[in-house]
Chains A and B, each alone.
Chain A
Amino acid sequence: MSASPTTQHPPAEQTLILVGNPNVGKSVLFSKLTGKFVIISNYPGTTVEITTGHSTFSGKTCAVIDSPGVNELAARTEDARVTCDVLRDHPEATLVQVADAKNLRRALLLTMQLAELKRPMVLVLNMMDELDKVGGHIDVRKLSELLGIPVVPTIAIARTGIHLLEKSLDQAAVPASLTASLKTQQTSPTVTTNLPCQEEDYQQNIERLSYINEILAQVYTRVRPRKPTFAQQLGWWATQPLRGTLLLALILYFTFWFVGLLGAGTFVNFFENAVFGRHINPIAIRVVDAALPFPHQHRHEASEYKLDIPLAPGRGIELFSSTQQVLSPAYTIEPGAAHGWWNAVIRFIHDFLVGEYGMITMALSYGFAIVLPIVTTFFLLFSVLEDSGYLSRLAVMVNRIFRAMGLNGKAVLPMVLGLGCDTMATMTTRILETRKERVITTLLLALAVPCSAQLGVLMAMTARVSWGAALFWVALMVAIAFVVGWLAAKLHGGASSDFILELPPMRRPELGNVVVKTLARLEWYLKEVIPLFVLGTAILFFFDKLNLLEKITCFGEPIVTGWLGLPRETANAFLIGFLRRDYGAVYLLDAATGPNATLSPHQILVSMVTITLFMPCIATLFMIARELGKRTAAAITVFVFVFAFFVGGLVHHLGRWIGL
């Protein structure tokens, strides 16, 4: 999908770097030039990685590098830093600046900054169709003359003008006239890397813009007044108080239906009961039994399966249902069987693969049957929202609410992504500008934002408690997020960043792009998650074999039974929850809703609260340590642990006291 710029390839005779403002279609142009699929993103700042491809133009092999979108050439944000690094690492490269033709003014600001690097460049005016739609016209020849570089109009999505661009690459020129026009000379001809913005930088930008106005006066005309399209109208509605809230509610409900009911209900049911329960697990058990025979008899258990289209929680259109006896991993040893060491070894391997804590029967079936469907539906929806340009508008809607937590609206992206996967969300906190915001968002993600796998399980658990209790759980999580966020914002030094956010135009998401993006995220997720499931199960398996589970349960018993008021077996769930908290939740789910449920509704509520607040999965911990450093990671970990048990116990004792 993406490669570092140092990937081994036949030496290219020429290097092209695509540079441009965010959301101008650089990535589309890149894929048309190199024939490679890439992630195209509509939310400023989601593609931090750079993509490199290869192509041949007029007989020359060419390396093409796609850089993150920047608004100016100063390394003040993560994206800009990457772009500046790319520019510095390839001093001989030809620059291809991609511009949104509608937004020529901002593009030219970047052109002038690029011109100061004194490198051959070509300006691409992309999205000419959209310019036409808003009624603008650009005199391309005149612009080319004024800038002293080739200017190519394109519509990258439709492949219009790509051929012209390939031909004009040979004529790439250094835009000398641009730099000469400025009164104040750039102090250094290289890319600026100083972080704090200086007064001179600002003055230079003002000067550049006034020069750009002179250019625009000669080349840009507006022929007819704008008439808002439906997408534009929708974009305006999305940020208005009333219509925006309605739209938000609609989108939230659809998300709940699509991920919570369809993904976590219908699809999980299908994969867990029909695919794994009836086919994969029994086949695996038979194969292992045939390969590693030892005297034992697997039990059979009834498997109920129902395929339905959900409408509301607990209601749906039933399409198909059946009950069937299937082979279960639980088994009995035939009495009087030989107890040789050979049998013991075989049994050990057998259990490792298809036992109660087996790789296939537990790790893979949880990983693929429960987590995968939920995560897939979530990522699919997230990609659609991201490509439509709605996420930035969501940030506008929630900015005030997030301000109460010491964050600003931009933090909504990691927070929403956290509902899919906290680990991935922790990584995307990079888009936030100050460390303070990154720390608070990470803390809240670790504490109060349940990931999709966990959400599915938690939703199943809410079915076992009253509506009131479920609402209490949601309200408590929201309240905790606010109180902890507010406190953290007060206690953590440093300033919050300004909320100045560009709203990209609303567009209809392209199916191909959404699919590619979802697949890329899933690939990442599977690579990270399945090994962790296997690792977690393996640790659990060895603990079980060594009877350590029993001992650790004893150790954790005073807290779990005394303070939380839960059965001692649930101590296991918390232990597993340390390895993966959704895993722990699944374990609790079995105790809550499984065939031999042991938990009362009150206990379910207590465990729901505790497991939601509990230590995020171990992958999140590693990610926090990577992003924020070991000390902060340790502090967050300790806080989350103590806080989860504290609040869980509080809920238990208060519930007892009130008499629920």
Chain B
Amino acid sequence: MSAPNDYLHCPLCGFEFIKQQSACERGCPLGKYCRLVCCPNCHYEFPPELRVVSWWRRLFAPAACPKPPRDLFSLSELNEGDHAELVRLTSEKVSRRNTLAVYGLVPGSRLVLQQKRPSFVIRVGETELALEADIAGELVVKRIAAEGAANLTS
């Protein structure tokens, strides 16, 4: 069982609190036999998890920190059919960056991700280009609306 001053984690809103902070209504008919706790943030009632479980979770579960919203993705995170604008190339190899450049793929150019498997195929202007997954992972892009990409240039 969880000790009174153990940290509790609301499964609904993710708020963290200790048992004493539980926002139980005064005069609840269930009284001390109630096993539920109430989140002071969203007033969601839930049974606190077992201490062993919470230990386990703290030891092994991935950090539950919410991902900050972002507008930059690696190309491999995009979905097929997405339109994107290349922001930068993270490749160390200048020859690789230059090869992409002569196909018209430089920061600022717009591309369409046509497919991801078995290899990545993107379209830059009228050029269809096949890339390997690890090269696609090095392209940092931002999503754009499909209409914008219909024009050839930025």
Which A residues contact B (CB, under 8 angstroms)? 71-72, 76, 100, 102-106, 109, 134, 136, 196-199, 201-202, 205-206, 209-210, 213, 216-217, 220, 222, 225-226, 235-236, 239-241, 244, 392, 395-397, 399-400, 408-409, 498-503, 505
| A240→B115 contact, CB < 8 A | yes
Q: Range of interface residues on chain B?
A: 35 or more
Nearest A residue to B89, CB-CB: A202
| B118→A216 contact, CB < 8 A | no
Nearest A residue to B133, CB-CB: A400
Query: Shortest beta-carbon distance, A130 to chain B, in Å?
Result: 9
Q: A136 CA to B152 CA in the complex, in Å?
A: 10
Q: A213-B108, A409-B130 are in contact. List 19 more A-B contacts (CB 8 A).
A: A72-B102, A76-B95, A103-B127, A106-B125, A136-B152, A197-B94, A198-B94, A205-B102, A209-B106, A209-B109, A226-B150, A239-B121, A399-B118, A399-B119, A498-B96, A500-B99, A500-B130, A501-B130, A502-B127
| B131→A105 contact, CB < 8 A | no
B40 part of interface (Cβ distance < 8 Å):
no
| A205→B130 contact, CB < 8 A | no
Enumerate chain B residues within 8 angstroms of A501, measured Cβ to Cβ. 129-130
B107 part of interface (Cβ distance < 8 Å):
yes
| A396→B118 contact, CB < 8 A | yes
| B101→A222 contact, CB < 8 A | no
Q: A220 CA to B152 CA in the complex, in Å?
A: 8
Enumerate chain A residues within 8 angstroms of B132, measured Cβ to Cβ. 399, 408, 498-500
> Which residue of A201, A216, A235, A399 contacts B152 across the interface (Cβ within 8 Å)?
A216
> Which residue of A105, A226, A397 contacts B104 across the interface (Cβ within 8 Å)?
A105
| B151→A102 contact, CB < 8 A | no
Which B residues contact A (CB, under 8 angstroms)? 93-104, 106-109, 114-115, 117-119, 121, 125-132, 135, 150-154
> Which residue of B96, B100, B102, B129 contacts A503 across the interface (Cβ within 8 Å)?
B129
Q: A244 CA to B114 CA in the complex, in Å?
A: 14
Query: Shortest beta-carbon distance, B100 to chain A, in Å?
Result: 7
Query: Shortest beta-carbon distance, B12 to chain A, in Å?
Result: 40
Enumerate chain A residues within 8 angstroms of B130, measured Cβ to Cβ. 239, 392, 395-396, 399, 409, 499-503
Enumerate chain B residues within 8 angstroms of A210, measured Cβ to Cβ. 106, 108
Enumerate chain B residues within 8 angstroms of A197, measured Cβ to Cβ. 94-95, 98
| B152→A222 contact, CB < 8 A | yes
Known: A105-B104, A216-B152, A399-B119. Is A500-B131 also a contact (CB below 8 A)? yes
Enumerate chain B residues within 8 angstroms of A105, measured Cβ to Cβ. 104, 125, 152-153
Q: A239 CA to B95 CA in the complex, in Å?
A: 26
Q: A199 CA to B114 CA in the complex, in Å?
A: 30
| A106→B104 contact, CB < 8 A | yes
Q: A103 CA to B125 CA in the complex, in Å?
A: 7
Nearest A residue to B107, CB-CB: A206
Q: A414 CA to B118 CA in the complex, in Å?
A: 21
Enumerate chain B residues within 8 angstroms of A196, measured Cβ to Cβ. 95
Can you list the 9 inter-chain pairs with the closest CB atoms, starting with the nearest?
A197-B95, A503-B128, A71-B102, A102-B126, A499-B132, A205-B101, A72-B102, A396-B130, A501-B130
> Which residue of A100, A205, A240 contacts B126 across the interface (Cβ within 8 Å)?
A100
Nearest A residue to B147, CB-CB: A225
| B129→A400 contact, CB < 8 A | no
Q: A207 CA to B121 CA in the complex, in Å?
A: 26
> Which residue of A100, A206, A217, A236 contacts B106 across the interface (Cβ within 8 Å)?
A206
Q: A67 CA to B56 CA in the complex, in Å?
A: 67
Known: A105-B152, A501-B130. Is A409-B104 also a contact (CB below 8 A)? no
| A500→B135 contact, CB < 8 A | yes
| A213→B135 contact, CB < 8 A | no
Q: Which of B93, B102, B107, B115 has the most CB of A within 10 A?
A: B102
Q: Which of B115, B121, B128 has the most CB of A within 10 A?
A: B128
| A503→B135 contact, CB < 8 A | no
Enumerate chain A residues within 8 angstroms of B115, measured Cβ to Cβ. 236, 239-240
| A499→B135 contact, CB < 8 A | yes
Q: A136 CA to B93 CA in the complex, in Å?
A: 35
Q: A639 CA to B115 CA in the complex, in Å?
A: 41
Known: A222-B152, A499-B131. Is A400-B119 also a contact (CB below 8 A)? yes
| B128→A202 contact, CB < 8 A | no
Q: A505 CA to B126 CA in the complex, in Å?
A: 9
| A202→B135 contact, CB < 8 A | no
Enumerate chain B residues within 8 angstroms of A100, measured Cβ to Cβ. 126
Enumerate chain B residues within 8 angstroms of A226, measured Cβ to Cβ. 150
| B102→A109 contact, CB < 8 A | yes
| A71→B103 contact, CB < 8 A | yes
Enumerate chain B residues within 8 angstroms of A209, measured Cβ to Cβ. 101, 104, 106, 109
Query: Shortest beta-carbon distance, A339 to chain B, in Å?
Result: 72
Enumerate chain A residues within 8 angstroms of B102, measured Cβ to Cβ. 71-72, 106, 109, 205
Q: A490 CA to B150 CA in the complex, in Å?
A: 44
Query: Shortest beta-carbon distance, B102 to chain A, in Å?
Result: 4
Query: Shortest beta-carbon distance, A39 to chain B, in Å?
Result: 23
> Which residue of B94, B118, B153 contacts A213 across the interface (Cβ within 8 Å)?
B153
| B135→A498 contact, CB < 8 A | yes
| A409→B127 contact, CB < 8 A | no
Enumerate chain A residues within 8 angstroms of B152, measured Cβ to Cβ. 104-105, 136, 216, 220, 222
| B154→A213 contact, CB < 8 A | yes
Instruction: Offer 26 A-B interface pairs, CB within 8 angstroms, sorted by A.
Output: A71-B103, A100-B126, A102-B125, A102-B126, A106-B103, A109-B102, A109-B104, A205-B101, A205-B102, A206-B107, A216-B153, A220-B152, A222-B150, A222-B152, A392-B130, A396-B121, A399-B132, A498-B132, A500-B100, A500-B103, A500-B129, A500-B130, A500-B131, A501-B129, A502-B128, A505-B128
Known: A106-B103, A500-B130. Is A202-B119 also a contact (CB below 8 A)? no
| A498→B99 contact, CB < 8 A | yes
| B118→A241 contact, CB < 8 A | yes
Enumerate chain A residues within 8 angstroms of B119, measured Cβ to Cβ. 239, 396, 399-400, 409, 499
| A397→B101 contact, CB < 8 A | no
Q: A240 CA to B108 CA in the complex, in Å?
A: 28
Enumerate chain A residues within 8 angstroms of B127, measured Cβ to Cβ. 103, 106, 502
Nearest B residue to A236, CB-CB: B114
Q: A163 CA to B1 CA in the complex, in Å?
A: 92
Nearest A residue to B99, CB-CB: A500
Nearest B residue to A215, CB-CB: B153
| A217→B153 contact, CB < 8 A | yes
Q: A198 CA to B104 CA in the complex, in Å?
A: 18
Nearest A residue to B91, CB-CB: A498
Enumerate chain B residues within 8 angstroms of A199, measured Cβ to Cβ. 94
Q: A408 CA to B128 CA in the complex, in Å?
A: 18
Enumerate chain A residues within 8 angstroms of B101, measured Cβ to Cβ. 202, 205-206, 209
Q: A213 CA to B94 CA in the complex, in Å?
A: 22
Enumerate chain A residues within 8 angstroms of B95, measured Cβ to Cβ. 76, 196-197
| A201→B104 contact, CB < 8 A | no
Query: Shortest beta-carbon distance, B135 to chain A, in Å?
Result: 6
